[in-house]
Chain A
Amino acid sequence: MHSWLRIIQKSLAPPFVLFIFLLIAWHLGTKFFAIPHYIFPSPQAVYVATVNHFPEIIQASLLTAAAALSGFLLSFFIGLGAAFLFSEFSLLRRSCYPYAIFFQTVPIVAIVPLIITWFDVGFQSIVIIAFIISIFPIITNGTVGLSEVDTNLYSLFTLYSASRWQILCKLKIPHAIPYLVAGARISVGLSIIGAIVGEFYAGYGTSHYGLGYLILLAAHQIKTAYLFALILASTLLGLIFFGAANGVGNFLLRYRKAEASSFRKGKS
């Protein structure tokens, strides 16, 4: 049997079978208990809502994706800059780090009205909310990655008379990459949460009809099947973001994959 066939059989088939099973159970459940469609719509109703609202869902998803991606990219580069300053200047780290931790514990939803007061409703506020919620994993992981380099490696670079610049580019930054990848994986998920929460509050009255805004709208109008479709779209968006971050991360960390093939040559 081909190896990809075995993969399909082993890891894709069981969840797929379960999915079909749950779909049937969902369908029968709504029929059998006669649940009103505005409480819990049937799978067909969700499908119909998806098809009917397809252009809006796609447009809203793209807007939300743009806000989340902008917020994430801002948090990645600004967070990396902060991590760099923290790792190079220990006084700065010692004075600012406690505040970075403190701000991380502020519930983002609590400061959303404040951000809207300052920046008004619209795309910019949503990006800022996504940015604030997703920056801390980058700062904390980046700082650890840039500063906790193995002392022997550091000695080695000193012994070979490496400059501070060489130590940064050839030792600290490559060492920080696995940490930044781990931070970015958390951060992309948070940026979508930030964008959707932002759209709850700052997405109306403008041209920004993101997923968060439509979710509120659908809930207020008791279009529950449409609401389901939007939740599904949000989930897919999260999956795509996470998958992209994972893909980039795996590419950057491909050196970690030990291939068993090289052991066959039998050297001790």
Chain B
Amino acid sequence: MKKERFVEISDLTVSFPGGIEAIRSLNLIIKEGEFVSLVGASGCGKSTLLKVISGLLKPSSGNVTIDGLSPHQARKKQHDIAFVFQEATLLPWRRVIENVYLPLELRNIPCPKEKLLSILQLVGLEEFAFSYPAQLSGGMKMRVSLARALIMNPQIMLLDEPFGALDEITRQKLNEELLTLCEKESWTSLFVTHNVFEAVFLSHRVLVLSPRPARVIADISVPFSYPRSPELRGSAEFAQVVGEVSHHLRQAQ
């Protein structure tokens, strides 16, 4: 049974010292297993929202709950929250396989090499298990970053523009791979991006945020069923949804 109110954000306000308000009175409910994208102008507070959900940042007022728990409690109770940053954020002195093992290592959970290799196989990097990050391309590093997030069997995936620094071809390929993984693992995802095509291609729902302080100004359901094929990008229906999201984005400015 999927929970209807898995992530619940009510009346969230985040302001920084110096009086800059990043988020004002934001309300949001995410179903279990849902893939939600956040689009909005740069610096509008999207990343701040992910940090609050992960518990890295405390809200100034309002509430964030994950399955009824605070982010901090949720993390302690093994409702694991994985965070994927815009940069791959790997430890350059560790081999790929050791980077993937890091989250378990920090919690002193042993993990057989076979499991690590199978995770790497999932992202197509098993032959590079013993390479160093410096030996990998940008797209491959990002795959390692995804594998590291997957190793915890997370319930929530927070992705902060993970493919923003990649070229278009690699980005599309990784989008497709992410969708495949998503169906297999059925986690709940929050995906921050600038790219409307990417948002529509991946998500159940696309949320358009206003410029700072961030509020949800449009909540658009994407009507396509999963699994989605790459051909979807060329269809007229796809273009229509992209048009609708872009329209709201323009109005937000």
Contacts and interface: CB of A to CB of B under 8 A. Distances in A.
Nearest to B54: A159
A197 to B, nearest CB: 37
Interface string B102-138: 1101110000000000000000110110011111110
Interface string A111-130: 00000000000000000000
A177 B91 CA distance: 13
Contact of A263 (B76, B92, B102, B137): B137
Contacts of A268: 137, 139-140, 169-170, 173
A267 B144 CA distance: 13
Interface stretch (B82-90, B185-193, B213-221, B228-236): B82-90
A159 B170 CA distance: 28
Interface residues on A, range: 20 to 34
A262 B129 CA distance: 12
Interface in B29-64: 51, 54-56
Nearest to A267: B140
A267 B106 contact: no
A68 to B, nearest CB: 29
Nearest to B139: A268
Interface stretch (A77-85, A86-94, A148-156, A228-236): A148-156
A37 interface: no
Contact of A152 (B81, B87, B105, B139): B87
A52 interface: no
B124 A267 contact: yes
B75 interface: yes
B16 interface: no
Given A177-B93, A267-B137, 4 more contacts: A156-B89, A160-B103, A170-B91, A256-B132
10 A-B pairs with least C-beta separation: A255-B132, A258-B134, A262-B135, A160-B106, A162-B106, A152-B89, A268-B139, A174-B93, A160-B103, A152-B85
